[in-house]
Amino acid sequence: MTGEAIALLVVSLVVVWGGLAVSIIALVRRPERADFPHGWQNEGGPEDRPEEAVEHDT
């Protein structure tokens, strides 16, 4: 392998594994979103609630 190929390999490994590490750290710090509207964390979306369903003109 040439020096350029090794350098590109190292850069790509740092990008991939660094992104994985950053995402794991972010998930450990804030595992669950708290800014969802009331009732959306443990229930289905609007399609499960017919009173809030939106009709489309298609």
Within-domain flag for 40: no
> What pLDDT tens digit does each residue of the chain (58 aa) get?
899 999 999 999 999 999 999 999 999 998 776 666 665 555 555 555 556 556 777 6
Q: What is the predicted pLDDT for the residue at 31? A: 79
Q: How many structural domains comprise the chain?
A: 1
Q: What is the predicted pLDDT for the residue at 5? A: 97
DSSP code per residue over 18-42:
HHHHHHHHHHHH--S-S-SPTT-SS
Within-domain flag for 41: no
Within-domain flag for 50: no
Threshold 0.75, pTM exceeds? no
Within-domain flag for 15: yes
Q: What is the predicted pLDDT for the residue at 40? A: 53
Alpha carbons within 13 A on the beta-carbon side of 41? 8
Tokens matching residue 16: 């991939």
Measured between alpha carbons, how far is 20 from 27 in angstroms, rounded to an integer? Answer: 11
Within-domain flag for 39: no
Domain residues for the domain of 23 are 1-30
Within-domain flag for 45: no
